């Protein structure tokens, strides 16, 4: 896959490979993410062609844990989405409480009329 002349920004890298920000952080935590180089006199980082090639070499090694990290991260994200759908999740309980309060307020206003 050809890399742009100036290298990838982190967002470009994530979109090209289909990784989320959380997955990138998980890879970085385990030293499986490509190295980001700080551009001199700026706050921006880029993944240079050399860093990208080194990353490709790293993930092609047979003892690389990349697949395991990606599998776990996918499972974590799926379980998080499933938890948000559960009626007992705090976010859903809060919304239900707000709906009840709004209904009670509406009932009070109707009774006062």
For Cα atoms 10, 74, 38, give the angle at the middle one, nearest 5 degrees.
Answer: 15
Asked if 36 contacts 14 with a C-beta cutoff of 8 angstroms, the reply is no
pLDDT value of residue 81: 87
Q: CB pairs under 8 A, 24+ apart, for 63-67?
A: 64/32, 65/30, 65/32, 66/27, 66/32
- The tens place of each residue's pLDDT in the chain, 113 residues long, gives 566 667 888 999 999 999 989 899 999 999 999 999 888 888 888 999 899 999 999 988 888 888 888 899 889 888 988 888 888 888 888 888 899 999 999 988 888 87
What pLDDT shows up at residue 7?
A: 83
pLDDT at position 1 is 57
């Amino acid at each position: 896959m050809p890399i742009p002349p100036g290298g990838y920004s982190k967002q470009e890298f994530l979109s090209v490979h289909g990784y989320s920000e959380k997955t990138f952080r998980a890879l970085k935590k385990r030293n499986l993410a490509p190295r980001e180089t700080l551009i001199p006199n700026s706050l921006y980082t880029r993944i240079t062609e050399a860093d990208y090639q080194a990353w490709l070499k790293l993930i092609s090694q047979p003892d690389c844990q990349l697949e395991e990290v990606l599998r776990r991260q996918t499972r974590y994200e799926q379980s998080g989405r499933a938890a948000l759908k559960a009626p007992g999740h705090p976010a859903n309980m809060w919304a239900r409480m707000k709906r009840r309060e709004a209904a009670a307020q509406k009932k009070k206003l109707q009774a006062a009329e």
